[in-house]
């Protein structure tokens, strides 16, 4: 037993294990069979062992979120032929399908076989002389389907790992995560919690569950400082996220339409495209944008971007994230003094051009 003055719980999250035949229950397939969940360091080592020990020629990835997409790229880079299966209508369902389609194309361009609207029902050992050691059965828009591969990854998200704190009496918040205040205090005396195991304060949504590394770092810092007698508040998440897929990058911050409606806003989302820098200077790329703002107040609610990995998409979403943090209107984004040189931008940066389009298209 260890005594403490203050305790910080950082038990994180565990992989969601979807109810797929062959994945759960007795006799379930696992890492030794080439069937993997992927969240922890241990999971990673197990995947590496399968890759190095069995030299798989093909992979099926169940799930097309951040981890699923990154693994598709990694497997293609290793020379595997990859099938990606997503239950929802489009890949990367955390962005609007208009951008998801662009990511989908990027996957297809790199040889990934992408199946959307497809639910996996069963994973099993393949019959002898199949084109892979494992068999995946599912139901897609055209009915039942079967695919074979040598390795199967199931990456459909995570859920908070709260048993330690809950057993001690900790209260639960959004999505079963530990309830904390903005000082990262649980309801238990002298017990703080942070990271993937807690319900996160979102500046636009209030309490939500949004396990992200950036948030975990911030919350850990707040919890640690307060555990030592400090008085710091977690400023809140905006759900800022980014992922690189082959030569492209998708990013978002803030809310999409359905989230904004749920939060009581009156959102309008418009699409815009702009060059990352002056097209007369070699090497320019188009950036696809989606701007969401509140119709009544003109307040910026969210931005989604997609573009080439050298189009500074990640830091452009961060410009929007800082604007969101300060509750700017979309119109005021044009007041920002952003940098310009022809090889890297425009006198009105792409993020300002998108904002101006929103203002123009929503004017009545």
Binding site for its own copies (CB under 8 A): 66, 203, 212-218, 221, 235-244, 249, 251, 253, 309-310, 312, 314-319, 321-323, 325-326, 332, 334-341, 343-345, 347-349
Cβ closest to its own copies, residue 124 vs residue 334: 334
CA dist., res. 205 & res. 265, Å (int): 10
Least separation in angstroms between CB 36 and its own copies: 20
Least separation in angstroms between CB 314 and its own copies: 4
Whose tokens are 């690189």? That residue is 244
Q: Any idea what the Cα angle at residue 126 is, between residues 120 and 129, rounded to 5°?
A: 140
Least separation in angstroms between CB 351 and its own copies: 8
Cβ closest to its own copies, residue 71 vs residue 115: 71
Least separation in angstroms between CB 323 and its own copies: 6
Least separation in angstroms between CB 239 and its own copies: 7
CA dist., res. 184 & res. 90, Å (int): 35
User: What tokens does 24 get?
Assistant: 């759960």
Least separation in angstroms between CB 120 and its own copies: 26
Cβ closest to its own copies, residue 34 vs residue 239: 239
Cβ closest to its own copies, residue 113 vs residue 225: 225
Cβ closest to its own copies, residue 136 vs residue 314: 314
For residue 58, list its beta bridge partners.
81
Residue 247 CA to its chain's centroid (Å): 18
Contacts of residue 286, Cβ cutoff 8 Å, sequence gap at least 6: 273, 274, 275, 276, 307
Least separation in angstroms between CB 136 and its own copies: 27
Least separation in angstroms between CB 215 and its own copies: 7
CA dist., res. 58 & res. 276, Å (int): 36
Cβ closest to its own copies, residue 272 vs residue 277: 277
CA dist., res. 68 & res. 204, Å (int): 28
User: What tokens does 178 get?
Assistant: 């530990």
CA dist., res. 352 & res. 348, Å (int): 6
Contact 291, 352 (CB under 8 A): no
Cβ closest to its own copies, residue 117 vs residue 285: 285
Classify 292 as helix, strand or coil.
strand
CA dist., res. 257 & res. 272, Å (int): 16
Cα dihedral value 51, 53, 59, 64, nearest 10: -40
Least separation in angstroms between CB 231 and its own copies: 14
| Backbone φ and ψ of 152, nearest 5° | -125, 130
Cβ closest to its own copies, residue 7 vs residue 216: 216
Contact 94, 67 (CB under 8 A): no
Cβ closest to its own copies, residue 69 vs residue 136: 69
């Amino acid at each position: 037993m260890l005594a403490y003055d203050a305790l910080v719980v950082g038990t994180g999250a565990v992989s969601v294990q979807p109810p797929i035949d062959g994945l759960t229950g007795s006799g379930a397939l696992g890492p030794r069979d080439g069937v993997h969940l992927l969240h922890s360091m241990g999971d990673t080592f197990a995947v590496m062992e399968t890759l190095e020990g069995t030299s798989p020629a093909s992979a099926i990835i169940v799930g097309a979120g951040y981890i699923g997409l990154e693994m598709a790229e990694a497997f293609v880079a290793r020379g595997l032929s990859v099938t990606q299966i997503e239950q929802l209508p489009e890949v990367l369902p955390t962005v609007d399908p208009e951008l998801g389609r662009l990511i989908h194309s990027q996957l297809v361009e790199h040889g990934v076989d992408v199946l959307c609207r497809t639910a996996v029902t069963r994973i099993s050992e393949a019959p002898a002389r199949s084109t892979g050691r494992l068999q995946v059965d599912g139901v897609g828009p055209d009915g039942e389907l079967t695919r074979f591969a040598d390795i199967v990854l199931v990456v459909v998200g995570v859920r908070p790992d709260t048993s330690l704190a809950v057993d001690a009496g900790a209260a639960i918040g959004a999505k079963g995560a530990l309830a904390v205040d903005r000082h990262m205090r649980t309801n238990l005396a002298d017990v703080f919690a942070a990271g993937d195991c807690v319900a996160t304060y979102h500046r636009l949504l209030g309490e939500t569950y949004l396990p992200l590394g950036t948030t975990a770092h911030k919350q850990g810092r707040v919890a640690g400082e307060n555990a030592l007698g400090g008085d710091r508040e977690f400023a809140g998440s905006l759900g800022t996220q980014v992922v690189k897929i082959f030569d492209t990058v998708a990013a978002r911050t803030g809310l999409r339409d359905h989230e904004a409606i749920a939060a009581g806003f009156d959102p309008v989302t418009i699409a815009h495209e702009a060059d990352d820098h002056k097209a007369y200077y070699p090497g320019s790329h188009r950036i696809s944008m989606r701007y969401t703002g509140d119709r009544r107040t003109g307040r910026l609610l969210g931005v989604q971007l997609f573009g080439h990995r050298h189009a500074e998409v990640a830091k452009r979403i961060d410009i929007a994230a800082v604007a969101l943090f300060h509750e700017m209107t979309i119109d005021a984004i044009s007041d920002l003094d952003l940098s310009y040189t022809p090889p890297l931008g425009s006198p009105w940066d792409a993020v300002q051009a998108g904002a101006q389009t929103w203002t123009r298209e929503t004017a009545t």
